[in-house]
Structures are given as structure tokens and as C-alpha cells.
């Protein structure tokens, strides 16, 4: 039985899909529903992660969770509702971005860049570059990464907290193993032609869905 399930999972995860114009829907609070993203890159001296999300959650939630066996929060984008702060974590460091207009029920584009040489992180919130801050320098994110949308990992690939799961919609997830230029980030934000992620590419995404996560076309307004 276990063997059969393993076979099915392997078969489903095989080929990358083009999710352009689509979104993942995480429709309910749970610790079972998530999307696991696959990549072959396993050492990062720098990174940029961009995504769009839509939610009306009134509690903490994770938006992007990359764990390695070295650190469960090796690259984590987390919203702290109590303090109303977007908190990117890299390696063993964390920074806080408050004062954001993180309105419910609208799409927000969030890009996060980090470089191990300077140790600086920068959040771009809906296209606005925020303060550069020190978070972690001198070591790579390394080891087999497990990248999860919909849940926040408190272990390498598990230990999810129901009070931190994401409920809402998510789209346009990309990851690069370098710091994107300001110009490229603005192209991403404005949905123009940009260089797709070389670690994760929404246009050729290798992923596995667990439990109730749905894929639908993004809703466009009639004009």
C-alpha cells in the first residue's frame, strides 16, 4: 500500500506545469493541505523570492516556507498579525517590516532579496522597495531544500501549526539564486516580461499538491 502511494506520488510529480494565469486556492484551515515545490538547486549564496497572495486571515500565517535540515526557517516569509509585521527569516536571522498596508481581500505582490556576502535583506511590498536590513551573512542556505506553500514548517518537511497555515489564493511564485535588479523586480510587479525564476518558475513548476488545494484561473475583472 505504501509502495503504491509512493509510486503515484512520484508519477504525479514528474513533469513541470505552466501555471501562467492560474492560482492555487487554499480554501480551508488545515494542517494537511499544502503544495510542495521541487527544485534541483541546493546551495544558495543569494536569493530572491517573489509571489502574489490574497487572503482575509486575521491571524499569523506563512506565505513561503523553505526548510533545510540545518534550519527550518532557512528562507521563510511570515506575517505576524499581532505586531502587524511582515517577517522574512533567512538562515537563523529574522527581520521585521511594519507599517505596511497589508489590506485583506486584495492581491499583494511581495519580493524578498537576500545576499550572504552583505547579509542584507530587502522586502519589496507591492512594488515599493523597503529598508535594507541585516539578517544573516557568511553562510549559504544549503542542504536539500523543502519548499512549501500553505503551511509553515517547524521541521524539515513537517510539524505544521494549524494557526499558521495559509488560507487564500497564491500565484506567480518565482525564486532565483541571485538578487534581482530593481528593474527586474518592477517588471515582475507590473506583470511585464521578466526573467523567470531559475530555482522556481511559475511557468514550469515542478510541484505536488497534498490534500485540498485547487488550481483555477486567476479572476480577471471585466473591462
Q: Are 87 and 95 in contact (CB under 8 A)?
A: yes
H or E stretch including 184?
Answer: helix 182-189
Rg (CA), the chain: 16
User: Can you read off the three cell numbers belonging to residue 121?
Assistant: 535583506
**Does 177 contact ligand NAG by CB under 6 A?**
yes
Closest CB to ligand NAG among 40 and 193? 40
Tell me how far, at minimum, the Cβ of 14 lies from ligand NAG, in Å. Answer: 7
User: Can you read off the three cell numbers belonging to residue 28?
Assistant: 480551508
**Does 13 contact ligand NAG by CB under 6 A?**
yes
**Does 137 contact ligand NAG by CB under 6 A?**
no
**Does 70 contact ligand NAG by CB under 6 A?**
no
Q: Are 128 and 117 in contact (CB under 8 A)?
A: no
Q: Are 177 and 166 in contact (CB under 8 A)?
A: no
Alpha-carbon span 164 to 170, nearest angstrom: 16
Closest CB to ligand NAG among 83 and 181? 181
Of 37-45, 93-101, 128-136, 214-222, which segment contacts ligand NAG by CB under 6 A?
A: 37-45
Q: Which residues make Cβ contacts (< 8 Å) with residue 65, sequence separation at least 6?
A: 73, 76, 77, 147, 148, 149, 151, 152, 153
Q: Sketch the per residue contact string, 99 through 118, with ligand NAG: x for CB under 6 A, - otherwise.
A: --------------------
Instruction: Number of residues interacting with ligand NAG: please give it, by CB under 6 A.
Output: 10
Q: Sketch the per residue contact string, 45 through 64, with ligand NAG: x for CB under 6 A, - otherwise.
A: x-------------------
Q: Provide the binding-site residues for ligand NAG, judged by CB under 6 A.
A: 13, 38, 40, 43-45, 140, 142, 177, 206
Amino acid at each position: 500500500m505504501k509502495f503504491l502511494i509512493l509510486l503515484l506520488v512520484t508519477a504525479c510529480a514528474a513533469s513541470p506545469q505552466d501555471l501562467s494565469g492560474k492560482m492555487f486556492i487554499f480554501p480551508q484551515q488545515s494542517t494537511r493541505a499544502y503544495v510542495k515545490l521541487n527544485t534541483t538547486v541546493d546551495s544558495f549564496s543569494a536569493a530572491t523570492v517573489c509571489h502574489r497572495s490574497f487572503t482575509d486571515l486575521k491571524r499569523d500565517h506563512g506565505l513561503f516556507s523553505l526548510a533545510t535540515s540545518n534550519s527550518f526557517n532557512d528562507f521563510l516569509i511570515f506575517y505576524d498579525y499581532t505586531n502587524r509585521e511582515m517577517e522574512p527569516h533567512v538562515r537563523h536571522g529574522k527581520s521585521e517590516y511594519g507599517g505596511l498596508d497589508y489590506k485583506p481581500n486584495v492581491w499583494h505582490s511581495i519580493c524578498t532579496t537576500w545576499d550572504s556576502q552583505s547579509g542584507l535583506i530587502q522586502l519589496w511590498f507591492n512594488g515599493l522597495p523597503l529598508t535594507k536590513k541585516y539578517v544573516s551573512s557568511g553562510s549559504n542556505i544549503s542542504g536539500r531544500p523543502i519548499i512549501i506553500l500553505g503551511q509553515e514548517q517547524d521541521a524539515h518537511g513537517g510539524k505544521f501549526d494549524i494557526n499558521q497555515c495559509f488560507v487564500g489564493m497564491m500565484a506567480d511564485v518565482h525564486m532565483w539564486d541571485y538578487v534581482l535588479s530593481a528593474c527586474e523586480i518592477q517588471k515582475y510587479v507590473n506583470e511585464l516580461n521578466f526573467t523567470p525564476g531559475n530555482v522556481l518558475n511559475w511557468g514550469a513548476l515542478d510541484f505536488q499538491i497534498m490534500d485540498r488545494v485547487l488550481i483555477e484561473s486567476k479572476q480577471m475583472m471585466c473591462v
